[in-house]
Structure 1
Amino acid sequence: MSSITHAKTPYYFVPSPSRHPAMASLGLFFVVLGAAQWINGANWGKYSLAAGMVWFLGVLFQWFSESIRESEGGQYGHKVDLSFRWSMSWFIFSEVMFFGAFFTALWWARAHSVPALGSLDNALLWPDFKAIWPSLAAGATASPAGIVEPFTTMTPFWLPTINTALLLSSGVTLTIAHHALIAGHRSKTIAFMWLTVLLGFVFLLVQGYEYFHAYQELNLKLSSGVYGSTFYILTGFHGFHVFIGMLMLLFITLRLQKGHFTSERHFGFEGAAWYWHFVDVVWLGLYTLVYWL
């Protein structure tokens, strides 16, 4: 049962004017300003970035708290539920396009750019260039100017495979929690949600160790040619999405412990679950294309 008894739900909810969008934009302005100045050598940039991030997160906390009160107060009817579902669907679609762009960049570099640079047309310009993708010849930088330090590529064993098992397991525990919520077994739902959050957290720890291993022992860096840049961009952005998804699931779990959601009304739970399953699917593609091929 939800912690608040719902009154008659309105056909459609019209929110009152809110300061939150403007306040969130102000925080993001200082985040972007600080980041741009920091990477260009201005020491004050990091303070602007930190202050803007704290401001932005504070606004989000107030904004989400207000939305939760409205939802638990019975102000969100069927139409609002539909708008949330469409919004989350389009958001996940935008994320699919986001990762699709980077997967396409990886494919283009491997299938077109590297072979083209090693063709006869470019032989006079780069006579010593080797059109070899690094994953096929570990340690080959294919850098005739010697500007890329030798490095060793990442293999699927064992850290990436362990992370694959962790994410797939988290998808199973999340599905069990969902079915338990529908069946009205709140304690079981909470237990499996905490297990899902724990699996996501362990995934991030393993990936952090993988980065340390890659940087220190394999000399694999963001500057390690197109292989290094695509490796860190794809795995790094995915790790960030895992972190965001883990936070979503954490707050959903805390709300469950407060008595929020019912077996009939729990789109907040479903939206976070959709996002987490999307993160799982992206990792499977990444695991195959980056670590195996």
Structure 2
Amino acid sequence: MQAHTPDSGDYFVPAPSRWPMVGAVALFLLGLGAALAVNRIAPGMWLLAAGAAVLVWMLVGWFGDVIRESVGGRYSGQVDQSFRWGMSWFIFSEVMFFGAFFGALFYVRAIALPDLSGQVTGQWLWPDFRAAWPASTGPLTASDYTPMEAWGLPALNTLILLSSGATVTVAHWAMLAGQRRRLVLALGATVALGLTFLCLQAWEYHHAFSSLNLTLGSGAYGMTFYMLTGFHGLHVLLGSVMLLVVWLRVLRGHFDADHHFAFEAAAWYWHFVDVVWLMLFVFVYWL
């Protein structure tokens, strides 16, 4: 199905939309619900659920409008370029987002630990402090924890994500070659691998809490571990949803070899998620 019109010099301007306002309401409900839930005030969980439902409604409705505009031939090549620049800058902003957390990890390990064990602070303020990573939270107290091993679920999840990067590349090749069956199978496998990764990460978190006593309160290690892996898991979920929507659109014949930027955008994002996980595996789990 043709998704673009020939370049005519006109730039498509969408009609006024209610979806930004709906999204603002969703975020307000989520924020208020989270604040109440953290303080164990009764309506908190209900407001969180309502905010999540409104957010899903907004996403389905808004992206549905964009899809209908695309398959209806409303977008020209100039709009396509705008989409490409928009996705590129979005991924760049995500690089900066994770860069801040990797920077915090570097600061703690390479700067703060040596500083705290220096001649002045080490001898006078914390004479028993050891500049070792992961940093201990105290001598044999309830706050002690066991660091997460790299060779186990994390290594398996690394293999799964690397495999998903390969399958989404195969799907792209199949798109360009017009091999629809191969495209459907490879893209479906990518979504399945992404969801498998999330299930194994949930299992890993359960193991960390129940067996390793590793929580957000487990010092700098626990904080950076959950912030980096948790936000990465959120991005895997987002990428899986994007690829699932693209897979459903493939089944409906929305793309061809020349016009399939929605697929390309999701693939770019997925490769970004893969690269971030490789850095996580090396710097959080392995070293």
SS state of the match for residue 124, structure 1?
helix
**Which of the numbers 244, 250, 255 marks the counterpart of 2:249?**
255
CA contact (8 A) 2:108 2:220 kept: yes
Which amino acid in 2 is paired with 1:120? Q
CA contact (8 A) 1:181 1:189 kept: yes
Counterpart of 1:137 in structure 2 is none
Pick closer, same or farther for the CA change 1:147–1:104 going to 2, 3 Å: farther
Distance 1:99 1:115 in 2: 24
Which amino acid in 2 is paired with 1:278? F
Q: Tell me the alpha carbon deviations over residues 211-232 of structure 1, each in whole angstroms, 9 at most, x when there is no partner.
A: 1122222221111110111111
SS state of the match for residue 131, structure 2?
coil
Counterpart of 2:272 in structure 1 is 278
CA contact (8 A) 2:6 2:76 kept: no
**Which of the numbers 130, 138, 144 marks the counterpart of 1:143?**
138
Deviation at 1:203, TM superposition (A): 0.8
Deviation at 1:147, TM superposition (A): 6.7
Q: Tell me the alpha carbon deviations over residues 223-255 of structure 1, each in whole angstroms, 9 at most, x when there is no partner.
A: 111011111111111011101101110110001
Which amino acid in 2 is paired with 1:106? L
CA contact (8 A) 1:129 1:142 kept: no
Which amino acid in 2 is paired with 1:228? G
Deviation at 1:158, TM superposition (A): 1.4
Counterpart of 1:246 in structure 2 is 240
Structure 1 position 183 matched with structure 2 position 177: yes
CA contact (8 A) 1:9 1:75 kept: no
What TM-score, normalized by structure 2, do the two folds share?
A: 0.95
Which amino acid in 1 is paired with 2:12? F
**Which of the numbers 210, 219, 222 marks the counterpart of 1:216?**
210
Q: Percent identity?
A: 52
Deviation at 1:92, TM superposition (A): 0.3
Counterpart of 2:41 in structure 1 is 42
Which amino acid in 1 is paired with 2:190? T
Distance 1:7 1:204 in 2: 39
**Structure 2 spans left out of the alignment, 5+ residues:** none
Q: Tell me the alpha carbon deviations over residues 146-173 of structure 1, each in whole angstroms, 9 at most, x when there is no partner.
A: 7762211112111111111111110111
Distance 1:56 1:9 in 2: 35
Pick closer, same or farther for the CA change 1:55–1:106 going to 2, 3 Å: same
Counterpart of 2:125 in structure 1 is 125
Deviation at 1:129, TM superposition (A): 2.0
CA contact (8 A) 2:137 2:218 kept: no
Which amino acid in 1 is paired with 2:150? P
Which amino acid in 2 is paired with 1:236? G
SS state of the match for residue 124, structure 2?
coil
Deviation at 1:287, TM superposition (A): 0.5
Which amino acid in 1 is paired with 2:36? Q
Distance 1:6 1:237 in 2: 35
Counterpart of 1:23 in structure 2 is 22
Which stretch of structure 1 is more off in the superposition, 95-104 or 115-124? 115-124
Counterpart of 2:189 in structure 1 is 195
Which amino acid in 1 is paired with 2:15? S
Which amino acid in 2 is paired with 1:78? G
Structure 1 position 81 matched with structure 2 position 84: no
What TM-score, normalized by structure 1, do the two folds share?
A: 0.93
Deviation beyond 4 Å, 4+ runs, structure 1: 4-10
Q: How many residues align?
A: 285
Please provide the CA RMSD for this pair: 1.7
Distance 2:142 2:105 in 1: 18
Pick closer, same or farther for the CA change 1:164–1:278 going to 2, 3 Å: same
Distance 1:198 1:228 in 2: 29
Which amino acid in 2 is paired with 1:149? S
